[in-house]
């Protein structure tokens, strides 16, 4: 139970509640959701199983696991891709965590109350352009993340989140019910659930695939590391299905919380990363007891995000300490130091550095795009091919059936998916994106 809860804690985070609605909004709603769900089923859950097999059979970090499982193939270079991507992700992710901290303190101080939707839009714009406040909250968040890592508070946080994550789910349901009573709510529901097939463009497919990997914490050996703590009696296929389904349910609930309000208040679904920060305050405004809901939601989002940043940090900390022989504390300092430097640059991307672009993207957008849409799916190809083709068949079967003590009915389709479907689908989406941009 503990290991599974931690894995769900890693997967459920701002990816579901902040990134999913904004990506779905930018990419046309229903068309995006359709491709997203297909990606979770055909690539997501199989690749989760692949990471689980590698992690639990070796009980090691990514580099150690690759050395042990494929000694002749020198595949452990891939661990550098994982470290690089995890540092990029934590850098822009902690900026958004900083926004959550800002909104949490605003709501605690009662300042998220009594304004019009237009004023809330302005409020967010003023905030992200303020270099000091954004950077301050980002650094503060990373410092807190460091304290948790360093003090070994991880267990404690996980125990707390075992109670708070179900509470977050309940809260989301309350918000959804509230959203559905808004005038014009059905337009939001239609936006999310009615796919317009002509809208499935290469951009939408790449965005949905990247979102699926991001939201499932997949492709960077994060789940591999967590699975190295699983018990031999845990069912890998069942655990992977639970993680995949719960994570998707939370994302859809977040969509149902946001889109009815977006349409009801005449806001724009394609607002991008700022979407939930403009919509949520407007929602609280209209709810009875709004200021209390606001504090509750931002507090729970804060907990959800710290369980995710801990899991991201764990990738490089395990590597620095096990491979470079650093103490855990030094490894945590190195991880936090890099994240603080890059995080500061990402935090400034909305203000003073908004003109500093590469390929037309600010650093925040570049890190987000390259890690989620490129590196994570590449990791997906890597892990599915490794388990599908390179690993010993008997080892994979032993892991899936717990040494023959469980019958796994989906074994054949699963292995088929890992060998052909998942890698081919990722390649097809990449090519589609490159050739028809
Ligand atoms: N899945 C998390 C979320 O939805 C983010 C996350 C945590 C992540 N660990 C990761 C993303 C590892 C990619 C890789 O918020």
Model confidence over 367-412: pLDDT tens digits?
999 999 999 999 999 999 999 999 999 999 999 999 999 888 889 9
Q: How far is the CA of 197 from the centre of ligand 1 (A)?
A: 29
Q: How far is the CA of 312 from the centre of ligand 1 (A)?
A: 7
Q: What is the mean pLDDT of residues 127-136?
A: 92
Q: What is the pLDDT of residue 153?
A: 62
Q: What is the pLDDT of residue 133?
A: 93
Task: Inform me whether the pLDDT recorded for 154 exceeds 70.
Answer: no
Q: What is the pLDDT of residue 351?
A: 87
Residue 163: pLDDT band by 50, 70, 90 thresholds? Answer: confident
What Å distances lie between residue 358 and 87, 131, 192, 234, CA to CA? 18, 20, 32, 45
Is the CB of 222 inside a 6 Å radius of any atom of ligand 1? yes
Model confidence over 205-250: pLDDT tens digits?
999 999 999 999 999 999 998 898 899 999 999 999 999 999 999 9
Q: What is the mean pLDDT of residues 344-353?
A: 93
Q: What is the mean pLDDT of residues 148-159?
A: 75
Bridge partners (DSSP) of residue 361 are 358
Question: What's the whole-model pTM score?
Answer: 0.94
In whole angstroms, what separates CA 77 from the centre of its chain?
Answer: 24
Q: How far is the CA of 86 from the centre of ligand 1 (A)?
A: 9
Q: How far is the CA of 21 from the centre of ligand 1 (A)?
A: 16
Q: What is the pLDDT of residue 71?
A: 85
Beta-carbon-side half-sphere exposure of residue 47 (alpha carbons within 13 Å): 34
Closest CA to 65 of 52, 55, 73, 74: 55
Among 15, 213, 227, which is best to mutate for testing ligand 1, by the most ligand atoms less than 8 A from CB? Answer: 15
Q: Closest residue (by CA) to atom 14 of ligand 1? A: 217
Q: What is the mean pLDDT of residues 117-134?
A: 93
Is the CB of 87 inside a 6 Å radius of any atom of ligand 1? no
Q: What is the pLDDT of residue 16?
A: 97
Over the chain, what is the mean pLDDT? 92
Closest CA to 290 of 178, 188, 181, 184: 178
Model confidence over 273-322: pLDDT tens digits?
999 999 999 999 998 999 999 999 999 999 999 999 999 998 898 889 88
Is the CB of 217 inside a 6 Å radius of any atom of ligand 1? yes
Residue 433: pLDDT band by 50, 70, 90 thresholds? Answer: confident
Is the CB of 304 inside a 6 Å radius of any atom of ligand 1? no
Model confidence over 188-202: pLDDT tens digits?
999 999 999 999 999
Q: What is the pLDDT of residue 436?
A: 67
Q: How far is the CA of 407 from the centre of ligand 1 (A)?
A: 31
Q: What is the pLDDT of residue 437?
A: 54
Is the CB of 97 inside a 6 Å radius of any atom of ligand 1? no
Q: How far is the CA of 232 from the centre of ligand 1 (A)?
A: 25
Model confidence over 51-65: pLDDT tens digits?
999 999 999 888 989
Proportion of the chain above pLDDT 70, given as a percent = 99
């Amino acid at each position: 139970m503990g290991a599974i809860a931690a894995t769900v804690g890693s997967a459920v985070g701002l990816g579901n509640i902040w990134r999913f609605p904004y990506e779905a909004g930018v990419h046309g709603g229903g068309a995006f959701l359709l491709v997203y769900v297909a990606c979770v089923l055909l690539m997501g859950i199989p690749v989760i199983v692949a990471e689980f097999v590698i992690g639990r059979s070796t009980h090691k970090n990514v580099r150690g696991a690759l050395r042990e499982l494929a000694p002749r193939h020198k595949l452990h270079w891939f661990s550098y891709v994982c470290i690089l991507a995890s540092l990029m992700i934590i850098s822009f992710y902690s900026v958004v965590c900083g926004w959550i901290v800002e909104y949490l303190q605003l709501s605690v101080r009662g300042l998220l109350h009594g304004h019009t939707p237009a004023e809330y839009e302005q409020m967010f714009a003023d905030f992200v352009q303020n270099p000091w406040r954004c950077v301050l909250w980002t650094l503060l968040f990373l410092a807190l993340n460091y304290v948790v890592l360093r003090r070994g508070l991880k267990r404690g946080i996980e125990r707390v989140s075992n109670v708070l994550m179900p509470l977050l789910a309940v809260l989301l349901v309350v918000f959804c019910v509230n959203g559905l009573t808004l005038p014009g709510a059905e337009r939001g529901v239609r936006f999310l659930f009615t796919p317009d097939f002509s809208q499935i463009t290469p951009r939408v497919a790449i965005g949905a695939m990247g979102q699926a990997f991001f939201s499932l914490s997949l492709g960077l050996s994060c789940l591999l590391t967590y699975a190295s703590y699983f018990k031999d009696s845990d069912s890998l296929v069942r655990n992977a299905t639970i993680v995949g389904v719960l994570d998707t349910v939370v994302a859809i609930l977040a969509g149902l919380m946001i889109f009815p309000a977006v349409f009801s208040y005449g806001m724009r679904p394609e607002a991008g990363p700022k979407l939930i920060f403009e919509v949520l305050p407007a929602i609280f405004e209209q709810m009875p007891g709004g200021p209390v809901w606001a504090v509750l939601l931002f507090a729970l989002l804060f907990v959800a995000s710290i369980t995710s940043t801990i899991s991201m940090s764990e990738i490089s900390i395990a590597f620095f300490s096990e491979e470079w022989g650093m103490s855990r504390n030094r490894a945590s300092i190195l991880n936090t130091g890099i994240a603080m430097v890059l995080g500061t640059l990402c935090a400034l991307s909305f203000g003073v550095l908004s003109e500093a672009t590469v390929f037309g993207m600010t650093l925040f957008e570049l890190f987000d795009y390259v890690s989620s849409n490129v590196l994570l799916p590449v990791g997906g190809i890597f892990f599915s091919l490794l388990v599908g083709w390179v690993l010993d068949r008997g080892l994979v079967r032993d892991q899936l059936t717990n040494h023959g003590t469980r019958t796994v009915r989906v074994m054949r389709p699963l292995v088929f998916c890992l060998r052909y479907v998942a890698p081919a689908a990722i390649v097809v989406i990449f090519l589609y994106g490159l050739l028809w941009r």
